[in-house]
Amino acid sequence: MRRFLTNTAQSNPRSAIVTGAGRGIGRAIALRLAQDGFDICVNDLDKNVEDVNSVVKEIQLLGRSGVAFCGDVSSMASVEEMIATSVTALGPLNVMVANAGIAQVGWPMDITEANMRKLFEVNVFGVVNSNIAAGQQFIKQGTKGKILNAASGVSFKADALLPMYSASKAAVRSLTQSFATELGRHGITVNGYAPGIVQSAMWKHIDAELGKINGLPQGENFNSFTKNIALRRTSVPEDAAKLVSYLAGPDSDYVTGQTILVDGGLVFS
Ligand SMILES: NC(=O)c1ccc[n+]([C@@H]2O[C@H](COP(=O)([O-])OP(=O)(O)OC[C@H]3O[C@@H](n4cnc5c(N)ncnc54)[C@H](O)[C@@H]3O)[C@@H](O)[C@H]2O)c1
């Protein structure tokens, strides 16, 4: 009889790194992958060390191993140190989730050079660093691996005031295809997950900044999307974590180079 290998049915120890996992979508992914049987390296910025340590504790309560690594993904040296820390503590790496990201709100003509550089350093260089360093680690190990990148839905209406953020996430989609093309010969898959309008600290910030421009009270910009979402609800971090669980597991072995929307039907691709 043929059987499907479910995530939880795997007995071999597996490890994953999740960047930007101190809160929000990254935290939900880290906890979901721990439930799936992965040991997890939890990354976030130094200033969020308490959040990182608390996610590590939650992972340990789920019966898995967790290790904290505070560092900035826009630095290649930091990403390499993160992988070394994870491998030393948890063994060979199986999955890299390049989730860390930042958002900026405002008209394209108003963006400063410094803000544009910062956005691309985290959202684009952070992904490039994580993909290259994880790819090198998988090749060195001689194992297949999975790389997942946080993208976003493009061309929905918020793009009007998140244009540079959307540009950085469009780059992530393209980079996902590029890395998938090169790493495929090693059996390494590279995919993107594109959440919709997710309740997180990032959206609180976006909502407040949009409110300064269009005068809507806190929460109203966020809620205004509901009517355009087919499922008529905004998203919670666990929605994205469910897709990442599939993309990190064996059922997605023949999927690569794709960026998959998980937005309740806000954008149709
Ligand atoms: N919230 C949404 O609606 C939404 C929609 C589409 C895509 N996304 C993407 O999903 C990812 C997670 O979003 P979220 O809503 O959980 O955001 P969030 O702001 O709540 O969490 C992001 C985490 O990344 C960390 N981070 C930022 N810069 C970092 C760096 N240089 N190095 C390491 N960590 C860093 C932050 O400290 C934070 O803890 C992001 O890439 C975001 O762009 C979010």
Atom of ligand 1 nearest to the CA of 203: 1
- Ligand 1 centroid distance, CA of 142 (Å): 31
Atom of ligand 1 nearest to the CA of 205: 19
Q: Which among 229, 216, 261 has a CA at the least distance from the CA of 157?
A: 229
Q: Whose alpha carbon is nearest atom 13 of ligand 1?
A: 25
The residue to mutate among 120, 124, 166, 202, having the most atoms of ligand 1 within 8 angstroms of its beta carbon, is 202
| Other Cβ atoms within 10 Å of 268 Cβ, number | 8
Verify whether residue 254 is a known catalytic residue: no
As a whole number of angstroms, the distance between CA 185 and CA 171 comes to 23
As a whole number of angstroms, the distance between CA 241 and CA 262 comes to 10
* pLDDT of 160: 65
* pLDDT of 216: 93
Question: Considering the entire predicted model, what is its pTM?
Answer: 0.96
Question: Taken in order 53, 205, 258, 180, is the CA torsion positive or negative?
Answer: negative
CB-ligand 1 contact for 122 (6 Å cutoff) = yes
Report the chain (269 residues): mean pLDDT per 10 consecutive residues. Answer: 47 91 98 98 98 98 98 98 98 98 92 96 98 98 98 67 90 98 98 96 93 92 92 98 98 98 92
| Other Cβ atoms within 10 Å of 226 Cβ, number | 14
Taking the domains of the chain in order of start, what are their residue ranges?
14-195+236-262
* pLDDT of 269: 82
Atom of ligand 1 nearest to the CA of 103: 43
- Ligand 1 centroid distance, CA of 49 (Å): 15
* pLDDT of 239: 98
- Ligand 1 centroid distance, CA of 73 (Å): 12
CATH 3.50.50.60 fits 14-195+236-262, yes or no: no
